[in-house]
Chain A
Amino acid sequence: MPSCAVKGGCPTDYIAIALSILSFTVLVLWCIVPFIVHKVPRTKGSGFWIPVIQVVASFFLLLSLVYQLSIALFSSLLIISNNFLKLGERYWWRSCYLWGAQWTIPVITLHSLYIAILVGVTTAVHHIEFRFDELKDLWRGILVSAVSIVIWITAYILNEVYDNISWLEVASRFLLLVVASILVVAFFSISSSQPLLSQISLRRRETREFRTMSQALGIPDSGVLAQSEPISRIDPNEPLDKLLLNKRFRQSFMAFADSVHFFDEVYELSKIPEDDCVRRIYMARHIIQKYIVAGAAMEVNISHRSKQEILSTSNLARPDLFQNALNEIIQLMRTNLARDYWSSMFFLKFQEDSNLRSNEYELEQMTGWNFSPRLSSVHGADDPFHQDHLLKSSGCSSDTTDL
């Protein structure tokens, strides 16, 4: 035992090395298996490179730790074959420690600095709501790093002070390598790597296409209309925001005007329970990207103030995040869109679907109405005139038969 402490090649050293090789293999398999088993197409850009960097970094970390041990191992092998190198080995080994003594303080300072920066950054961003509770992980990471450094310093000092207790040296290097091996695997599974994990996880198989964000987030009763949706009579005199809670009506109005899509998605957001911050934030971010940001694909017509209020918020999970913007949009729908909607083909069709076509009298009335279709969608392929053929033939009564 005492000799192997200096020469290297103690059983604990072998165990530690085996463990680190094992953990590294696990790591590599973890990354590769999903790709091999499920033939997931390789993602490009950061999605691919971040796991690669993480694996390579883990490899180097373990390698650098194994380095000390392996020097000892290799040299012990060499000693057997080549007695002459014995002195040289000792010298080498010693020089490592000398190097250590000389550089330990700056290295420790560097590590402490790293932790200090980490603490600083974390406090600076502590008010941001992250997707996966990254903040908690950051604090956890800081704690672990700090503890590791403390352990390292303790081990170093003990080794320096009790230079002659060989088991201490052996134990400390065993501990160091084992802890590092575990950490390497652990780091890969914590949530800051979550996006990577979701990308390469085994569950990847069940890739599904979601038509809307609310479906992807599993918000109940969202997405396509179920046939069983109750058919109810719509009274145009009721307040619009009440009417819009009717799904059938909402879908019909959505086809007529794009602003209603915003209402729909905010309504879906309101269905997520308030304590489910992660999903709320996901949905809020989706809405902001799609409707609020300047130049967004479906940007809504809201005032500068409401927009700024949303974009500068510190809490994306806030329940009233979109309230002012939503009020503006409802007001816009009420004053501008609704009046035209009641006399549009969309409402006619809606009524027809709801079996409301009661008598010829209604149709008679509608022929005289002035139809003003809106651009219902904004994506390039959309042709605003595609309904025109129907609408142009002023005999709207005949059109209704086509529906």
Chain B
Amino acid sequence: MLSCVTENMGLLCSRNRRYNDADAEENAQTAEIERRIELETKAEKHIQKLLLLGAGESGKSTIFKQIKLLFQTGFDEAELKSYLPVIHANVYQTIKLLHDGSKEFSQNEADFSKYVLSDENKLSDIGARLDYPYLTKELAQEIENLWKDPAIQETYARGSELQIPDCTDYFMENLQRLSDANYVPTKEDVLYARVRTTGVVEIQFSPVGENKKSGEVYRLFDVGGQRNERRKWIHLFEGVSAVIFCAAISEYDQTLFEDENRNRMMETKELFEWVLKQPCFEKTSFMLFLNKFDIFEKKILKVPLSVCEWFKDYQPVSTGKQEIEHAYEFVKKKFEESYFQNTAPDRVDRVFKIYRTTALDQKVVKKTFKLVDETLRRRNLFEAGLL
């Protein structure tokens, strides 16, 4: 210690004054870093790791955004504004998809006449470009006119064949607002905005409710869901408290973005089973979010559940609300069966819960997360031998 001091003194003497200040400052900083690292490692032990897993477009990032909104500072204006190009890109891409889709249908289908567009326009070209123009009132009007074209509407009715994003309806209804010169995206717009996640993103949060009872700290990881992204998941599998598996139950009649020969529900099933079998997850809790219930309840009345191979044996019983419940219960049962079939007997004591969610609905997500939090805390107490 002393030698260190003298050494420092020697250095002090040999250097000029400005340097001394910098040195002292650096030393103070190093001490500060060490103190912080110590604190962090202490805190680290209490942080619970949560993983959001699921196939592409199952709603993982929407849940992630909701958590940010609910338990963190939310989005500041800069962040809201950063979504503007995304939202505009969503609009242009969607209209291009619909435009190209109607063209394709009008060429290949027997009842082609209903897909023929009333007039040609340049909107499709914009969608293919990289540098989208700002969505002006005129462009928005043009897009709206095209959107209202019966051919486009007919095409949209078959949207499940075309990789049309879920946000289409929402953004098309709000075109006028989106094209305002002073437009700043709202929280809701941001939640609807479709961005394919690539890589891994994380946030840390503590779901402190009104009663401030929960002191649990969570670190939530969001990942990309497409096949190529899954190779990155494996890095995250160690020491996970709970996996939140998102399954978009409305996508039983859609195909994968990355492989249009593959049904999304079948992919989800296989993925779910693969995750269940991971050796790392022996003691990990599983929270299954049967997501996109809002779309599911609309679709189920139009498209029979049995179009998906997994649900082939489904028999509709009635109509309306009852039918929705019946179909949902059927899907839920299928996932339950799959869970127990793919969980080895020595793992049956891990927690498995199924939640019905609509990731866009803040209330639902908040409620669900409270339940998840409660379950995990109880689990911890149980493991500590207190329960």
Contact = CB atoms under 8 A, between A and B. Distances in A.
Please indicate whether A and B come from the same complex rather than being unrelated chains. yes
Contacts of A335: 85-86, 89, 195-196
Interface string B185-227: 0000000000111111111000000000000000000001011
A395 interface: yes
A393 B260 contact: no
A301 B258 contact: yes
A370 B219 CA distance: 13
B232 interface: yes
Interface residues of B, number: 41
Contact of A336 (B32, B40, B196, B258): B196
Nearest to B226: A301
Contacts of B26: 401
Contacts of B176: none
Contact of B33 (A258, A294, A337, A395): A395
Given A300-B228, A339-B82, A384-B236, A375 B257 contact: no
A330 B226 CA distance: 17
Nearest to A327: B130
A259 B128 CA distance: 20
11 contacts: A258-B198, A294-B259, A301-B258, A304-B255, A304-B257, A327-B130, A331-B130, A336-B195, A337-B199, A382-B235, A389-B37
Interface in A16-68: none
B199 A258 contact: yes
A375 B228 CA distance: 13
A89 interface: no
Interface string A362-398: 0000000010111100100011110001001111001
Interface residues of A, number: 43
A301 B196 contact: yes
B235 A375 contact: yes
A299 B228 CA distance: 6
Interface string B276-307: 00000000000000000000000000000000
A106 interface: no
B229 interface: yes
Given A257-B198, A395-B36, 13 more contacts: A296-B228, A299-B231, A304-B255, A330-B130, A331-B130, A334-B89, A335-B89, A336-B195, A336-B197, A374-B200, A383-B235, A384-B235, A389-B37
Top 7 A-B pairs, shortest CB-CB distance: A374-B199, A299-B228, A304-B260, A384-B235, A372-B201, A375-B232, A335-B86
Contacts of A370: 203
Nearest to B223: A375
- What's the dominant secondary structure at chain A's contact region? loop
B130 A259 contact: no
A72 to B, nearest CB: 66
Interface in A262-278: none
Contact of B256 (A239, A304, A331, A395): A304
B383 interface: no
Contacts of A95: none
Contact of B258 (A303, A334, A374): A303
A307 interface: yes
B195 A303 contact: no
Contacts of B85: 334-335
Contacts of B29: 398, 401
A398 B30 CA distance: 8
A76 to B, nearest CB: 72
Given A337-B198, A372-B201, A395-B32, A302 B235 contact: no
B338 interface: no
A160 interface: no
A372 B201 CA distance: 5
B199 A393 contact: no
Interface in B1-47: 26, 29, 32-33, 36-37, 40, 44
B346 interface: no
B90 to A, nearest CB: 9
B232 A378 contact: yes
Contact of A303 (B44, B163, B198): B163
Contact of B229 (A301, A331, A337, A384): A301
B228 A393 contact: no
Given A336-B198, A384-B200, A398 B33 contact: yes
B270 to A, nearest CB: 15
A392 B201 CA distance: 14
A241 interface: yes
Interface in A296-345: 296, 299-305, 307, 327, 330-332, 334-337, 339-340
Contacts of B256: 304
Contacts of A389: 37
B380 to A, nearest CB: 22
- Most chain A CB within a 10 A radius of its CB, from B26, B199, B201, B202: B199
